[in-house]
Structure 1
Amino acid sequence: MKRREPLGLDMTPMVDIIFILLIFFLVSSVFKKEELALMLELPNAGASKEVQEKKTLSIELSKDSLAVNGDKVSYEEIMFKVLPLAKDGKMIMFYIDKDVPYSRVVRILDLLKTHSLNKLALITKQE
C-alpha cells in the first residue's frame, strides 16, 4: 500500500497578490517634494525668481520655533546643522512667517553672515 503525503497549502497565489498590491500602492502614492516642519504664513511678493531645487537647504523661522531641513533646532545648534550642508555650495532657502519680529530674522541673518553663507533666498508666496 502506497503512503500518501499530506497536502499542503500552495502559497504562490498569495505571494503574487501581495506583490501586485505592493506595486499598486507604490505607484499610486504621492511623494512630497519638500516637507516643511513649521506651519508658516509667508508674506506676499509681486516679483519672484525661480530657484533651482536640487541644491538647496531650507531654514524655517516662526515666532517660537526654528527648523533646518524639516528638523526643529534651537538657535544655539543651528550652525551645527547648517555649516556641513551649506559648505557644499547649496543655496539656503529662508522661509519666514509674516508675524516673526524683525529682530529674530536679523539674528539668524547675522549668524549666517559671520560664517560667510551668502547664497540666500527669502521665500514668499506668489500673489
Structure 2
Amino acid sequence: MKRREQITPDMTPLVDVVFLLLIFFLVSTVFKKEELALLLNLPASQSSAEMVEKEKISIELSQTELALKGETVTFEALESALSQVNDKKSAVHVRIDKEVRYERIIKLFDILKRYELNNLALVNQSKQ
C-alpha cells in the first residue's frame, strides 16, 4: 500500500511577508520620547482659520499699558469687555513685552481665567 502524503502549505513565504511588514512598520514609525515627558491635556480646535480671525481677541501688554483689539484700556475696562464675551472658545492672542513684570502677567491671566477664556495663544516674534 502506498502511503498518502499530507499536503501542508509552505510557510516560508508567509513568514517572509510578516517579517517585511514588521520591518516596514518599525522603520516608518517615529519614536519621540521627549514629547512624552509631560502628560498634557491639549485643547482641540475644530474652527477654520477664517472663523478664528472673526472671533479673535487680541490683547497687548507692556510695562505701563494694556490694549484690547488695538485700543488702550485699563484692567477694569478689560475685565468688563471680557465679561461680555459669549463664546468661551474664542481665540485669545496675547502679546507680552519681554520686560513686563511677572505680576502684571499673572493679573492678566487671572482675569482670563475668571471669565473662562482658556483658548490662549502667546504670540512671539520669530528669529530671522
The TM-score with structure 2 as length reference comes to: 0.54
SS at match of 2:122: strand
Q: CA deviation at 1:122?
A: 0.5
Letter of the 1:121 counterpart = A
CA deviation string 1:52-88 (max 9, x = no partner): 4343110000000001001111111111122324x22
CA deviation string 1:21-71 (max 9, x = no partner): xxxxxxxxxxxxxxxxxxxxxxxxxxxxxx743431100000000010011
Counterpart in 2 of 1:114? 114
Counterpart in 1 of 2:68? 68
Letter of the 1:113 counterpart = K
| Contact 1:95 1:122 (C-alpha < 8 Å) held by counterparts | yes
SS at match of 2:83: helix
Letter of the 2:62 counterpart = S
In structure 2, distance between residues paired with 1:77 and 1:118:
19
SS at match of 2:98: coil
Counterpart in 2 of 1:99? 99
SS at match of 1:53: helix
Share of identical aligned residues, percent?
A: 36
| Structure label with greater radius of gyration | 2
In structure 2, distance between residues paired with 1:112 and 1:90:
11
Bigger fraction of residues in helix: 2
The TM-score with structure 1 as length reference comes to: 0.54
Q: CA deviation at 1:110?
A: 0.9
Q: List gaps (5 residues or longer) in structure 2.
A: 1-48
Letter of the 2:90 counterpart = K
Q: CA deviation at 1:99?
A: 0.6
Q: List gaps (5 residues or longer) in structure 1.
A: 1-50
| Contact 2:90 2:117 (C-alpha < 8 Å) held by counterparts | no
Tell me: higher relative CO, structure 1 or 2? Use CA pairs within 8 A at least 6 residues apart: 1
| Contact 1:57 1:68 (C-alpha < 8 Å) held by counterparts | yes
In structure 1, distance between residues paired with 2:104 and 2:97:
11
